[in-house]
Amino acid sequence: MQAPKDFSSVSPSAKSLLLMKGYTNIPYAKQAAALMPGPEVFELSFDEKDFWFWVRVMHFESRYWSIDQLLKQTDHTNILELSSGYSLRGADLCVKNKNIHYIDTDLPEVVATKQKMVTELELVAHLKGKLELLPLDVMNRTAFDDIISRFPPGPVTIVNEGLLMYLNLKEKETLCQTIHHTLKERGGCWITADVYVKRTAAMLATLPQSKGESAFMEQHHIEDNKFDSYDAAQAFFNDQGLELVKEAVFDPQILSVLPQLIKVLPEELRNSKERPPKIQATWLLRAK
């Protein structure tokens, strides 16, 4: 029997992501980032805030809102977030909606830290809906089913951003089988912001990375774990019994960091008519 995979080495990326989101107007991101001690894990300079810094921040802000965009197109009140990191999306929704039952999951150490954040930010007193922060190994089918059983009857929306690129093909298939089983049994949908396609060699050559970031990407085979194309991604999910229903539509005008990016936009890009390459999509999937 194969030993369970240790995902603990991934958790520092959740810290890095929170610090970047702290520059946006994502709910509670600034407050949560202020509670996170220690230097930035990838050694990016948050003081220089150059073009590539704001490109990264804009990407992650866009990814966050793309999930919210699709969430608003469902009427489900049972929501499970997988590998949520230090995102407080669940808290935000439960503050706004008394009907929401949101189960927010990640590795035990991430959940413990987030629980302290929720306490320090005094969010519990403002919750109208039901928020649960629970540890979950997404590769453990029994643990996954136990989490699902905590919801009252009705369809379930499963949400994730920043998970599939840490899973190899076999692990992706295992997770898809678990999610497919849940959706067939309960109804609902899966909103995933993890439809990433591999970058070209030219794109990789121009992307600035610190030694720490490069090592992290290599350690977790991030580029290898991405899809070859969007068609290949759709075919993969289709093979797992999951069909693409909707794709989030990117609207840069809603992004709080857009003015910062425009300030540092290189002249050649400022005058370019070409759209930047699309490296990621957020999809709403249903079980066939």
Dmax over Cα atoms in the chain, in whole Å?
57
Assign 12 a pLDDT band (cuts: 50, 70, 90): low
Phi and psi of 256, rounded to 5°? -70, -25
What's the confidence (pLDDT) of residue 214? 60
pTM of the model: 0.88
Instruction: Give the SS3 label for residue 19.
Output: helix
pLDDT band at 44 (very low <50, low <70, confident <90, very high): very low
Query: When comparing pLDDT for 220 and 155, which is higher?
Result: 155
251: helix, coil or strand? Answer: coil
The pLDDT of 26-40, averaged and rounded, is 80
Confidence of residue 55 (pLDDT cuts 50, 70, 90): confident
Q: Measuring CA to CA, how many Å separate 220 from each of 89, 107, 282?
A: 26, 16, 22
Q: Is the pLDDT of residue 64 over 70?
A: yes
Three-state DSSP state, 234 = helix
The angle that helices 169-186 and 141-148 make with each other, rounded to 10 degrees, is: 30
Structure tokens at 174: 């295992």
Query: What does pLDDT average to over the chain?
Result: 87
| pLDDT band (50, 70, 90) for residue 112 | very high
Q: How many whole angstroms separate alpha carbon 188 and alpha carbon 78? A: 9
Under 8 Å between Cβ of 87 and 81: yes
175-218 pLDDT tens trace: 999 999 999 999 999 999 999 999 766 665 566 665 556 665 56
CATH architecture of 8-287: 3-Layer(aba) Sandwich (3.40)
Across the range 153-178, mean pLDDT stands at 96
- Residue 29 CB-half CA count within 13 A: 23
Counting residues of the chain whose pLDDT is more than 70, the rounded percentage is 83
HEC secondary structure over 43-103: CCCCCCCCHHHHHHHHHHHHHHHHHHHHHCCCCCCEEEEECCCCCCHHHHHHHHCCCCEEE
State the Cα–Cα distance between residues 64 and 58, nearest whole angstrom. 10
Q: What per-residue confidence (pLDDT) applies to 24? A: 92
Q: Is the pLDDT of residue 237 over 90?
A: yes
Q: Which residue has the tokens 């590769």?
A: 139
Say whether 276 sits in a helix, a strand or coil. coil
Helix (H, G, I), strand (E, B) or coil at 255: coil
Query: Residue written as tokens 């959706």?
Result: 183
140 neighbors 147 (Cβ within 8 angstroms): no
pLDDT digits (tens, 9 = 90+) for 113-135: 999 999 999 999 999 999 999 99
Mean pLDDT, residues 95-114 taken together: 95
Token pair in block for residue 231: 């068609």
- Residue entry with tokens 């919750």: 127
Across 187-191, 225-229, 274-278, least confident range:
274-278
Question: Where do the domains of the chain lie?
Answer: 8-287
